[in-house]
Structure 1
């Protein structure tokens, strides 16, 4: 009965976290448009940050709860899930993803750089303050290049932000906090009852749950003929995960870096990131490539089950 109770708390808390994140993203997007920020920049920054908000919230809550090994599992698990599951499903649903922009100019280069930088800073199984600052500087550099090309819309063409947008922005932020706190609480209790390491739950259940916004945003955009937005969402979300979701909890407390994550899951994330870049090189991701990505995801989940 206790197990069912904590599973119920986990589902309810995660649902609250995702819904609150959706309010936060929608409100931030409306406010950004009212300020003249272009939809593309909003997609790779505000929307990408918003879909990474559940990962950041759960990672911060895990540090405060003394379960810091969840952080690295959450980041790496979410990045693998975003590429293998989210991108794979999107390619299968729309058959072929045609890319309008050359991702290699900025976005893919930053994605590869963030992945390799994470590999280097975690190689010694320790994340120091200086390394966290470097990760944050990496995000600042990415945002600088992204906003540099932003062309502000004319004042007459800008939609107006309503009071409800500011209200939902604040309410969404508050609910994200509580949703994350109870998600980590439930994970801790479930892992204790089942004697499953929290890192494995973070790699699987939490990674899938916190990646649901990416799944919804990407599939919705793809069905509307805006597959490039889906690609940008995955790119931006993974960059935010690596630079911010690792760095901010690392500045707050010492993070535990499990050895098996460094030896298997982190290299798998690097492989998935490289594969993503290779597939996007010709500006076309086919349905067959989507199935290949899903096979890698099955490999990822199979390793977790074996553990």
Structure 2
């Protein structure tokens, strides 16, 4: 039993590393494309980087549905959204030197984020998420992307790099590796949950959610350290909206999604509360290191209560 657990743990770590690293390469290319076309830093974070850094959640969710473990999808999405707000944003605020926001995300972006959290609650109220709900969520995501990409653009500066022929190649290779890594990530999680007698929902909300949120953490922390807090917050908001509408919606096209007990009773309410908390933080347009520290404490509390 111990040998089997060690084997599956090694497979999980390697496959998750492949997923995260592949998404990282994709994200770098996507960021250059956005800046090349003159998109604002917030929009680069909210749309391009958020979709790129949410690829691990997307590919692992589709793999989970295809392997008949659809309860992993919503557990991963809920856990990732909580991780993004409390851990990723908490670390970003601690790292950043610039604590002032210029983009008024409170007008549209935050209401859509909070709406997406309540949408998850209402859509899964009967424990199942089907094709109709999936189409609705994808339509909502499409409308948000149209709004975001039509926002004011910026002038192309020297920092925007020219597009090179190698980027489509990097994109294709990274997508292949994402698919490969996600398949074995889900397989190993299923085996580990059986060995430890822990529900796949709990593991998906914590271990998988943390692993698939590493791209958001790395991108946001790096942007914040460079004084670009708007990119970090835009990345968190956009990633959560994409997770709630895009990941769940696309995964539902491959099969009906189920909801496990721990996610229903604890995960979803905590996600809604975290989204509302983010609204208060962004609305002030000023933040401090104490806010970042408090978010990290809340994240530790979330993980503790879920395993308890």
Shorter-chain TM range is over 0.9
1:49 shift after superposition: 0.2
The 5 Å alignment of 1:27-42 reads 27-35=29-37, 37-42=39-44
Deviation readout 1:218-267 (Å, 9 max, x if unpaired) = 11111101111111110000000000111111121121211331222101
Which one of the candidate residues 186, 191, 198 is aligned to 1:189?
Answer: 191
3-state secondary structure, aligned to 1:97: coil
Question: CA 1:158/1:300 → structure 2, altered by over 3 Å: closer, same or farther?
Answer: closer
3-state secondary structure, aligned to 2:99: strand
Match of 2:216 in 1: 214
Match of 1:91 in 2: 93
Match of 1:73 in 2: 75
Q: Distance in 2 between matches of 1:150 and 1:157?
A: 19
8 Å contact kept, 2:53–2:215? yes
Which one of the candidate residues 249, 258, 270 is aligned to 2:260?
Answer: 258
Deviation readout 1:40-90 (Å, 9 max, x if unpaired) = 433221111001000001101111111111001000000000011111122
Q: Distance in 2 between matches of 1:51 and 1:116?
A: 23
1:121 shift after superposition: 0.9
Which one of the candidate residues 42, 45, 52 is aligned to 1:43?
Answer: 45
The 5 Å alignment of 1:250-289 reads 250-289=252-291
3-state secondary structure, aligned to 2:257: coil
Match of 1:127 in 2: 129
For structure 1, the 5+ residue unaligned runs are: none
Q: Greater shift after overlay, 65-74 or 284-293?
A: 284-293
Q: Distance in 1 between matches of 2:24 and 2:174?
A: 8
Question: CA 1:301/1:58 → structure 2, altered by over 3 Å: closer, same or farther?
Answer: same
8 Å contact kept, 2:92–2:221? yes
3-state secondary structure, aligned to 1:252: coil
For structure 2, the 5+ residue unaligned runs are: none
8 Å contact kept, 1:52–1:237? yes
Q: Distance in 2 between matches of 1:130 and 1:73?
A: 20
Match of 1:12 in 2: 14
1:212 shift after superposition: 0.5
1:128 shift after superposition: 2.2
Question: CA 1:71/1:56 → structure 2, altered by over 3 Å: closer, same or farther?
Answer: same
Match of 1:168 in 2: 170
8 Å contact kept, 2:42–2:103? no
TM-score (norm 2): 0.93
1:151 shift after superposition: 3.6
3-state secondary structure, aligned to 2:10: helix
RMSD: 2.0
Question: CA 1:96/1:147 → structure 2, altered by over 3 Å: closer, same or farther?
Answer: closer
1:189 shift after superposition: 1.3
Q: Distance in 2 between matches of 1:133 and 1:139?
A: 10
Equivalences, count: 306
Match of 2:203 in 1: 201
